[in-house]
Amino acid sequence: MTKYEISQFIAETKQQDKGQGLFELETPRILEINLEDNIWAKMGTMISYRGNIKFEREGILEHGLGKLFKKALSGEGTALMKASGKGKLYVADQGKKISILHLKEESISINGNDLLAFETSINWDIKLMRKVAGLLSGGLFNVKLEGSGMVAFTSHYEPLTLLVEPGNPVYTDPNATVAWSGNLQPEFVTDVSLKTFFGRGSGESVQMKFDGNGFVVVQPFEEVYLAAQS
């Protein structure tokens, strides 16, 4: 076979059924969802599908006034769409790397911008971090998910998980923090002296402090969150 033939390209990049279940990593940056019923996915992440699938934007009052109020404050970062039907759905988010977790009566908090998709069996709620909202561009919010089911989230490049132990807290840059175990309650601490080293007053002086038993996931990238979009 001659190098660079179309047939060779197709053979190397074609979709393959890997038998991984509902969520399947087709590539490290494309999630295949083998849809049988309903799924929640981040708005704007659908890149392709086959089968009989219907898409609906999250209803304004679908999750109650409390979540509506918080969504209005947090902007479009967690705007969701419900995919219903039967078929194969492919989602991706700006080429970011995808991680899949199977929650088993567990909980995890994920940065609102990094949540990609999750099963409708999982309970979720938006958590606003008011203490730091005025210190970071666009503020900061996360989604707490708990129960049993599949969750997919994204990170810029490969994520790193740091274990948190009592008396040995982990400090992270909020813009590089992706997720943390649901039992942890991050605090925000400031260090004015750090501004001297970074030369950017964009929030490097604000850190998230995690203490207790659990884990926190960071990415090798500082994501700048846009203020509330329409």
Q: Average of pLDDT values for 78-82?
A: 83
Question: For position 137, what pLDDT does the model report?
Answer: 46
Answer with the residue of higher pLDDT: 126 or 109: 109
Q: Average of pLDDT values for 178-204?
A: 73
Amino acid at 37: D
- What's 136's DSSP letter? S
Task: Indicate the average pLDDT of the chain.
Answer: 84
User: Is residue 125 predicted with pLDDT exceeding 90?
Assistant: no
Answer with the residue of higher pLDDT: 60 or 182: 182
- d(CA 206, CA 172) in angstroms, rounded, equals 9
Domains of the chain (ranges, CATH numbers)? 21-218 (3.60.160.10)
Question: For position 203, what pLDDT does the model report?
Answer: 45
Q: Return the ∠ at Cα 159 (arms to 190 and 166), rounded to 5°.
A: 50
Q: Average of pLDDT values for 108-116?
A: 93
Please tell me the least confidently modeled range out of 103-117, 134-148, 164-178, 197-211: 197-211
Answer with the residue of higher pLDDT: 30 or 78: 30
Tell me the pTM. Answer: 0.86
Residue 91 structure tokens: 């989602």
Instruction: Determine the 3-state secondary structure of 229 from DSSP.
Output: coil
- d(CA 25, CA 208) in angstroms, rounded, equals 30
* φ/ψ bin of 206: left (φ > 0), alpha (ψ from -120 to 50), beta (otherwise): beta
Distances (CA, A) of 215 to 55, 111, 183: 34, 14, 9
- What's 168's DSSP letter? B
In terms of Cα–Cα distance, which of 230, 207, 133 is closest to 222?
207
- d(CA 204, CA 197) in angstroms, rounded, equals 9
Amino acid at 191: D
Residue 32 structure tokens: 């295949």
Answer with the residue of higher pLDDT: 180 or 127: 180
Question: For position 229, what pLDDT does the model report?
Answer: 36
Please tell me the least confidently modeled range out of 35-39, 96-100, 123-127: 123-127
pLDDT digits (tens, 9 = 90+) for 129-152: 755 545 554 457 889 999 999 999
Q: Average of pLDDT values for 21-29?
A: 96
User: Is residue 78 predicted with pLDDT exceeding 70?
Assistant: no
Q: Return the ∠ at Cα 176 (arms to 175 and 182), rounded to 5°.
A: 100
Question: For position 71, what pLDDT does the model report?
Answer: 55
- d(CA 131, CA 144) in angstroms, rounded, equals 18
